[in-house]
Amino acid sequence: MLTASHLSRRFGDRVAVDNLSFELAPGEIFALLGPNGAGKTTTLRMLAGLIAPSSGDIRIGGETLTRRNAPRLRQRIGLLTEAPGLWDRLSVRKNLEVYARFYDIERPERAVDEALDLFDIRNRAADPAAQLSKGLKQRVALARTLLHRPDAVLLDEPTSGLDPESARDVRELVLRLRGERRTVVLSTHNLDEVDRVADRVAVMRGRLVALDTPSALRARVFGARVRVVLATSEARFAATVNAAGFQDVRTTADGLSVGVDDPQSSAPEIVRRLVEAGAAIVSVTDEQPPLEDVYLRLLSEAQE
Amino acid sequence: MKRAVALLGKELADLRLNPALFLPAALTGFVSILLPFFVAIVVPAFAGERLSDSSDFQIAVELYRVQPGLRDLSSEGAIQAWIFQQFLVLLILTPVAASMSVAAYSVIGEKQARTLEPLLATPLTTFELLAAKVAGALVPAVSLAVGCFVLYFAGVAAFAEPGVYQALLTPASLAIVFLLGPLAALVALQLAVCVSSRVNDVRSAQQIGALVVLPIAGLLVMQLTGSFLLTLPVIAALTVGLSIVNAALMMVGIALFDRESILTRWK
C-alpha cells in the first residue's frame, strides 16, 4: 500500500532522513521511533506529499508520488499533525464540514454526522473548537483525519499530552483502523503504545537503525529468553536446566531466566527437565524485556 | 474550485466570528465619508459663510457650468459637487484598508495557529488556497466599500444642495468605487498574501501591502491640485493596468508559495 524506497531528505547541509526504505501492507501498523530530530515528522511529511524527498521515492497504492499528482494522492492519505490544528473560532461541526468539502465527499453533512457519532463528540458539535479540552481536540482532529476514509493514515504523536483514558481511546482507534485494512504509520515517543499496537517498528536516527517486529527486535538485542516462575526457587534447578544444554541460565528471586534460541521449541524441554527434577512450576513465559531497553540499546549501538 | 469555495466559506465564517478585525477598516471608511461633509457643509455652516463667497472655488463653478445637464446647479451646489467628487477617491482606500489586515494574517495566521499543516495535507492546490484567501479578504472589503458608497450618496442626497447628488452619480464615480476600488484592493491584498506566505510576521505583510496606499494618496493629491483628473478614459486605462497587475500577482503568488519552506523554515 505504502512504499518508501531509499528516501532521503536534506535541509541545507543537514541530513534529516537518510536512505530510508520500507514497504507497508494494508492493515499494517508501523511505528516510527526515534529521539527528537530523528526525522520522524519529516518522514511523515514526505509520505503525506507535503515535502518532496531529496532523493528516493514514495509509492502510494503502486503510484509514485510526484509534485504533480500530490494533490490527487493526498486524497488517499490522512495526516494527523502533531498539533490538532483546529480553527478555534469555528464550531466542531464547521471544522469537519470544511474538510469534508476539501475531500469532495459526496454527502459532507452525513459524513460529518457519522464522524461525530463515531468519535462520540456529537454533543460538542456546536461548540467552538477553542472550548474543547486537549483530549477532545485530538479526537476532533482524528475525526477530521479519517473523514475521507483514507487508505493510509499517518499519525504524528497522536497521544502526546493526552490523559490515559484519551490515550487509550486513540490506541483503540488505531487498532480499529487495522481491522478496516488501513495502513497506519505512527510516529511516537510512547514505547508502551508501540508495544501495544505496532506490527513493525522502525527505529530512526536520521537513518534507519533497525526495522522489525517488536519481538524480533527484542530477540535481536537481548536474545530470546524463557522465564520460569517456580513455587520454590532452588539453585539446583538452575543446574538441572544447565545440564540439559542451556548455557545461559540466571536465577531470579522467584525462578529462572533461560537464554534460548527459539522459545517455541525450548520451553517444553525446559519444563520437562524441571518437572523431572521435582520443581513446582507456577508459570512459563516468553520473557519480554521492556521495549524501552531495546530502543535505548539500539540507539546507543547506532551512536557507537 | 469546490475546495476553494469551501475554504472561502471558512474564511467568511471566521470573519463573522471576529468582527473586530474590520474595525480599523470601518473607521477608515467612516472618516473617508465624513471628511468631505465637514469641508463642504459643516465648516461653512459654522463659519456662516458660503463656499461660493470665496473666489478659490470659481474653477469648480466654471467646470460644472459647462457640462450639459448641470448648468442649473447653483454656485454653492457646483462647488459642493466638485468637493464630493474629489473625495470620492478616498473610497478606494476603504477596501484597501479593509483587506489589508485580513490578507496579511491569511497565511501567517494559519501557520501561527498551527492550522496550516493539516490544510496543506488536503488535496487543496496552491491556486485554490490563494484564491480562497484572496477572495476571503476581498468579499468583505468590497461589501464595506459598497456600504460606505451608499452612506456617502445618502449623505449627499440629504445634506448637499439640490442637484449635487445627480451631478455626482456619474459613470466615472461608479467606476471609481466599483472598479478601481476593488481592483486596487485586489492588488493590495494579493501583495499582502504573497508577503504573508514569505515572512514570519503579520506586521511585515501589513507594511508591505500598505504600500498600495501611497499611489492612492498620490491620486487624491493630484485630483485636488487639478493636475490629474479621473475621467472615464483614465479610469479605463487604470482598470486595464490594475487587471494586468492582478493577474501577474496571482502567478507570482503561486510561484512564491513554497509549501516546504513554509512548513520547515517557520517556527
Phi-psi domain of A19 (left: phi exceeds 0; alpha: psi -120 through 50; beta: other): left
Residue A89 to residue B14, Cβ atoms within 8 A? yes
B260 touches chain A (CB under 8 A): yes
pLDDT score of A29 more than 90: yes
Section A108-122 average pLDDT: 91
Section A162-178 average pLDDT: 88
What is the pLDDT, as a whole number, of residue B155? 93
pLDDT score of A198 more than 90: yes
Closest-CA distance, B121 to chain A, in angstroms, reads 6
- B209 vs B245, more confident: B245
Distance CA B73, CA A190 (A): 82
Section A101-127 average pLDDT: 92
What is the pLDDT, as a whole number, of residue A161? 78
Section A123-140 average pLDDT: 93
Q: Long-range contacts: A18-24, Cβ < 8 Å, 24+?
A: A18/A206, A18/A207, A19/A56, A19/A207, A19/A208, A20/A56, A20/A202, A20/A204, A20/A207, A20/A208, A21/A56, A21/A208, A22/A200, A22/A202, A22/A208, A22/A211, A24/A152, A24/A183, A24/A185
What is the pLDDT, as a whole number, of residue B137? 87
Cβ pair A156, A123 in contact under 8 A: no
B17 touches chain A (CB under 8 A): yes
Mean pLDDT of chain B: 82
- Please work out, in degrees rounded to the nearest 5, the angle formed at the alpha carbon of residue A159 by the alpha carbons of A153 and A161: 145
Section A30-38 average pLDDT: 91
pLDDT score of A291 more than 90: no
Please report the residues numbered 13 through 52 in chain A whose beta carbons come closer than 8 angstroms to any beta carbon of chain B. 42, 45, 48-52
Residue A85 to residue B115, Cβ atoms within 8 A? yes
pLDDT tens by residue, B50-84: 877 777 777 767 766 666 666 677 888 888 888 88
pTM: 0.82
A12 touches chain B (CB under 8 A): no
CATH T-level assignment (fold) for domain A223-289: Alpha-Beta Plaits (3.30.70)
Residue B263 to residue A50, Cβ atoms within 8 A? yes
Q: Which residues of chain B are within 8 Å of residue A52 when distances are taken between CB atoms? A: 260
B267 touches chain A (CB under 8 A): no
pLDDT score of B91 more than 80: no
pLDDT tens by residue, B177-222: 888 888 888 888 888 878 777 777 777 777 776 676 677 777 767 7
A74 touches chain B (CB under 8 A): yes
User: In 3D, which of A216, A213, A302 has the Cα closest to residue A34?
Assistant: A302
Q: Which residues of chain B are within 8 Å of residue A11 when distances are taken between CB atoms? A: 264
Q: Which residues of chain A are within 8 Å of residue B20 when distances are taken between CB atoms? A: none
Q: Find the range with the poorest average confidence among A47-56, A271-280, B27-36.
A: B27-36
pLDDT score of B266 more than 60: no
CATH T-level assignment (fold) for domain A2-212: Rossmann fold (3.40.50)
B16 touches chain A (CB under 8 A): no
Residue B6 to residue A144, Cβ atoms within 8 A? no
pLDDT tens by residue, A236-262: 889 999 998 988 898 888 889 998 888
Q: Percent of chain B, pLDDT > 70?
A: 89
Residue A51 to residue B122, Cβ atoms within 8 A? no
| Every domain of chain A and the residues it spans | 2-212, 223-289
User: In 3D, which of A200, A202, A154 has the Cα closest to residue A177?
Assistant: A154
What is the pLDDT, as a whole number, of residue A297? 86
Q: Find the range with the poorest average confidence among A49-58, A277-286, A288-297, B223-232.
A: B223-232
Q: Which residues of chain A are within 8 Å of residue B260 when distances are taken between CB atoms? A: 50-52
Helix (H), strand (E) at residue A74: none
